[in-house]
Amino acid sequence: MSMRKGRYYERYQVEDVLTFFSGQLVSAKSPDGTRVFLQEITLNEPLPSGAKEILTNLENEHLAPILDVIEEKERIVLVHPPMGGEPLSLLVQPRRGMEPTQALSVFRRLLRTAINLSELPIPLYTTLDSRNIIIEGNRPFILFVSFEEFTKRQADEKWRFLLHFLLTGFRMESRPENPEGDRSIRELPDALKKLVILSMDPEKSMKDVLEVAEKTVLPKQPKKIVANKRVNTRVVVYSGIVAVVVVAGIFVGNQFTNTPAAAEEEKIAQDKLDQPGGVVSFKDVVFQRQKAIQEQLPPTLQGSFRVQGDLVQTGSKPFSLSLVSENVESDFGLRVDEEGRIVLFQYISGETTDLAKSEDEFQIEPDKEYFVEILYIPGEPFRVAVKDRETKEKWVSVGNVPMDSMFKVYLEGSQGTSFKSPGVAKVEDGDEAVAKWMENQPWMLQGGNGVILDGRIDLTSETRVNLDKSIDSFVFTRPKNYNEDPIRMRLDAVDGSRYEFWWSKDGQMELAKAGAKWFGSENEKLAGDFFGTNWAPDEETRITILNNPDEFGIEVEQGSRKVTMKTPTSSPITIENISIENESWIQLIDK
């Protein structure tokens, strides 16, 4: 074994060395006996300023953490903590491969990671060769990174064959002449076959493939019931460096049984729901075990529907209400975490994504009753509402558009949690249901979340709201110390033209006809004015849309201060939609 001495060689006791890709991986111990892995990366030129800080502060859930960076002549050494895991190259067996859902999830995560690393201020490169990846639990980790491309003569193409390897266990080094005719590809499920072939297309970039992979949804696979048993601890020897994987015993199951009585109950519930305006109510669901368990409401839901009930908890414990697809890997719902925060989530083909989360503005408190509702209309984002029965505050949030399917309702909780008066109902009039969800306020939440109370809505950061097209005036406030642009609005006309109102933090206001860009330089300025610098964010400010047959404009009023901007028009402008895209807290008031 040959090693160049340096500062890290003097600081650590070297135990084993693996030569790999961009340098060496060293198993070593620090003076206090802590085991670490040291990764050598050869440098052709010194690191740019700030590189060390970028590396040690990288926050990527699929990259081996970097504890320290040791800079030496012509190389750097990355210090990693020990990691338990199994090399992907040994985990995936030929002719067996991974379950399709897991394979697609691993593939998407690794492509995202590689793209994100390459887009850092100081780009990092990696290879998605299976030998450079370990799996810890269900989570893939990339081991080696570099400041240069791994293959000098051509771009690294290992990623193009990764999904095929995950599904089949066979390692390809080049694209088959006829991918569609290759037996190992031909026998894959249709959705994955198309994605594998697309991945191998040299004309498609990694971003192109990831975009398609993100939209790929797989058919639902039958869930396997695994008996409770012990699995022996396995020790995997990874080219001289030992990684220990402990696999705990797993028990999968639920608390409902398929008895004749249960089947009859489901039939009765289904018959009621299938009637016009069908509504079905159930007995209270009271969780009585310390360990979290699942309960299922009987009917199958399809089309537009509402699921609701009253949540009561004696303590802060996890709870979830899920709509689980019966035929595709696509679920969605809400959960309450141990801190009482509400989280919207969506599950697609092996991956669960958190879409929105309540923070300080609204949290579930022990011993209080909350009305919980999930509203689903095919082709639209799913909507969630949680209302405090005592204060009447209502937290509303909008998720993504789920794949249309047939759904079952699942509840999960533990001792101290009850879901009272649960029920499901068909939704006959979608517009009416959505208006009721928004408490019939003159605006509609399109993205993000907010809290509704007494004719007003408090919107948190990153929200989008549309105002009713009939509205011509509304009031808003901001936090007292707010120091950004007061407001930006977009007004869409029925003829396809778009107008923008921009009030900047320096007091300037502008009304423009939009060009190709959102608030961009191509806008045609129609009117402008100066409100002044004495605007008080926490005092009510009224915005009025002026739309007369021969003029169009915006009026801004706070206290005794009023500024009006108008532009003449040759014909009336009919506004179809008014929207506000917001990046920080704002309160809209219906008055």
Neighbours of 198 (CB within 10 A): 18
Q: What is the pLDDT of residue 115?
A: 92
* 8 Å CB contact between 236 and 243: yes
In the three-class reduction of DSSP (H, G, I as helix; E, B as strand; rest coil), residue 108 is classed as helix
Residues 72 and 129 in one domain: no
Instruction: Give, in order, the Cα–Cα distances in Å from 446 to each of 390, 454, 464.
Output: 27, 20, 5
Q: What is the pLDDT of residue 374?
A: 97
pTM above 0.95, yes or no: no
Q: Is residue 453 part of a domain?
A: no
CATH number, position 40: 3.30.200.20
Helix axes 190-199, 100-118, angle to 10 degrees: 30
CATH number, position 347: 2.60.120.560
Q: What phi, psi does 59 have (nearest 5°)? A: -120, 90
Q: What is the DSSP string of 184-216?
A: HHHTS-HHHHHHHHHHT-TTS-HHHHHHHHHH-
CATH number, position 126: 1.10.510.10
Q: What is the pLDDT of residue 260?
A: 59
Residues 284 and 354 in one domain: yes
Q: Is 249 exposed, middle or buried (0-12, 13-18, 19+ CB in 10 A)?
A: exposed
- Amino acid in position 379: G
Give the strands of the sheet with 133-136, arranged side by side: 86-87, 133-136, 139-142
Q: Is residue 407 part of a domain?
A: yes
Residue whose C-alpha is closest to residue 407's, from 344, 321, 311, 320 = 321
Tokens of 199: 């991945």
* Rounded-to-integer distance, Cα 556 and Cα 540, Å: 11
Q: Is residue 361 part of a domain?
A: yes
Residues 322 and 412 in one domain: yes
Q: What is the pLDDT of residue 232?
A: 33
Domain termination site, one of 80, 96, 115? 80
Q: What phi, psi does 115 have (nearest 5°)? A: -65, -45
Q: What is the pLDDT of residue 228?
A: 35
Residues 136 and 64 in one domain: no
Residues 131 and 159 in one domain: yes
Q: Is residue 252 part of a domain?
A: no
Residue whose C-alpha is closest to residue 478's, from 556, 587, 580 = 587
Per the structure, the count of domains in the chain is: 4
* Rounded-to-integer distance, Cα 103 and Cα 216, Å: 12
Give residues with Cβ within 8 angstroms of 367, minimum separation 6.
312, 313, 314
Q: Is residue 496 part of a domain?
A: yes
* 8 Å CB contact between 436 and 430: no
Domain holding 464, by residue range, is 458-589
In the three-class reduction of DSSP (H, G, I as helix; E, B as strand; rest coil), residue 31 is classed as coil
Q: What is the pLDDT of residue 221?
A: 65
Residues 99 and 185 in one domain: yes
Residues 47 and 156 in one domain: no
Residues 313 and 403 in one domain: yes
Q: Where in 137-289 does DSSP place strands (E)?
A: 139-142, 234-238, 241-245, 279-281, 285-286
Residues 200 and 112 in one domain: yes
Give me the long-range contacts of 334-338 (CB less than 8 A, separation at least 24).
334/372, 334/374, 334/384, 334/386, 336/311, 336/364
Residue whose C-alpha is closest to residue 443's, from 264, 287, 569, 590 = 590
Mean pLDDT by 10 residues, the chain (591 residues): 50 67 67 78 73 76 82 79 77 83 91 90 84 82 75 67 91 84 84 93 94 88 42 32 27 39 71 76 90 88 93 91 88 94 89 89 94 95 96 96 90 94 92 94 92 93 86 92 92 87 92 64 82 91 91 93 91 87 90 85
* Rounded-to-integer distance, Cα 542 and Cα 554, Å: 10
Tokens of 448: 């993000």
Neighbours of 324 (CB within 10 A): 18
